[in-house]
A and B are shown apart, each in its own frame.
Chain A
Amino acid sequence: NAGVTQTPKFRVLKTGQSMTLLCAQDMNHEYMYWYRQDPGMGLRLIHYSVGEGTTAKGEVPDGYNVSRLKKQNFLLGLESAAPSQTSVYFCASSYGAPKVNEQFFGPGTRLTVL
């Protein structure tokens, strides 16, 4: 099993450009999450999904959109990138309710917006 994979690993964008980050998991997890990690701020939840076709906002959703068309994939989109979106992005997945299980994380995508 590959676990949680993220594509791409690195990306440099210019302000105003758009891009999509892809997260895939092969563990049949119901829940999937997108976080951003910034120095001194830990991980902050951007959006999450509790099942195919459903998404919800997290702590810092502005400037991002997501889609979960297939259970195994969770896409994070930046429509018009800004320098404030320079960060490391992590995808995670977990089994769903009623048990609360740990999250499994991908290796991260390092995004720089110039």
Chain B
Amino acid sequence: AQSVTQLGSHVSVSEGALVLLRCNYSSSVPPYLFWYVQYPNQGLQLLLKYTSAATLVKGINGFEAEFKKSETSFHLTKPSAHMSDAAEYFCAVSPIGNQFYFGTGTSLTVIP
């Protein structure tokens, strides 16, 4: 069975500080992994994806994530938070198939 756990439903950081959003997954097969961002009253947009190439994946807006198989983790980071990063972030896993499984989301607040 596939599942995704996002630790921390709410994360607050100061502007310019490191952003770390945690995602752990369970999967019966080597998965594809995704991070999406959702701004208020909008749909989800892809930030980055891991598809079994490089374990460190760079995405848009300065975000990156590292796939660690031994820890079954795919944490999202950004060195310096910007006010515009305030949003809801979702981690998702997809085994080789048709379905995607989403975490419950982490709301990021950036404090000026």
Chain A residues within 8 Å of B, Cβ to Cβ: 4, 31, 33, 35, 40-45, 48, 50, 56, 58, 90, 92, 96-98, 100, 102-108
Inter-subunit contact A42/B90 (CB<8 Å) = yes
Supposing A40-B9, A108-B42 touch, asked if A103 and B104 sit within 8 A by C-beta, the answer is no
Contact of B49 among A40, A102, A105 (CB under 8 A): A102
Contacts of A105 in B (CB 8 A): 36, 43-45
Tell me the interface secondary structure of chain B in the complex. loop
B96 closest partner in A (C-beta): A100
Contact of B99 among A40, A45, A102 (CB under 8 A): A45
Contact of A41 among B36, B42, B97, B104 (CB under 8 A): B104
Give B88 Cβ to nearest chain A Cβ, in Å: 10
Q: Which 10 A-B pairs have the closest CB atoms?
A: A105-B43, A42-B104, A43-B102, A105-B44, A42-B102, A102-B46, A100-B32, A107-B43, A42-B105, A100-B94
Supposing A58-B99, A102-B34 touch, asked if A107 and B42 sit within 8 A by C-beta, the answer is yes
Contacts of B104 in A (CB 8 A): 40-42
Contacts of B102 in A (CB 8 A): 35, 42-44
Contact of B100 among A50, A98, A103 (CB under 8 A): A103
Inter-subunit contact A97/B98 (CB<8 Å) = yes
B: contact size bracket: 20 to 34
Inter-subunit contact A108/B51 (CB<8 Å) = no
Inter-subunit contact B9/A45 (CB<8 Å) = no
Provide the bound-state CA to CA distance between A91 and B96, in Å. Answer: 21
Give B82 Cβ to nearest chain A Cβ, in Å: 23
Give B6 Cβ to nearest chain A Cβ, in Å: 8
Interface of chain B residues 40 through 93 with chain A (CB within 8 A): 41-46, 49, 51, 90
Provide the bound-state CA to CA distance between A96 and B99, in Å. Answer: 11
Provide the bound-state CA to CA distance between A48 and B41, in Å. Answer: 23
5 A-B pairs besides A45-B99, A105-B44 with CB distance below 8 A are A43-B102, A48-B98, A90-B44, A102-B34, A108-B42
Contacts of B100 in A (CB 8 A): 33, 45, 103
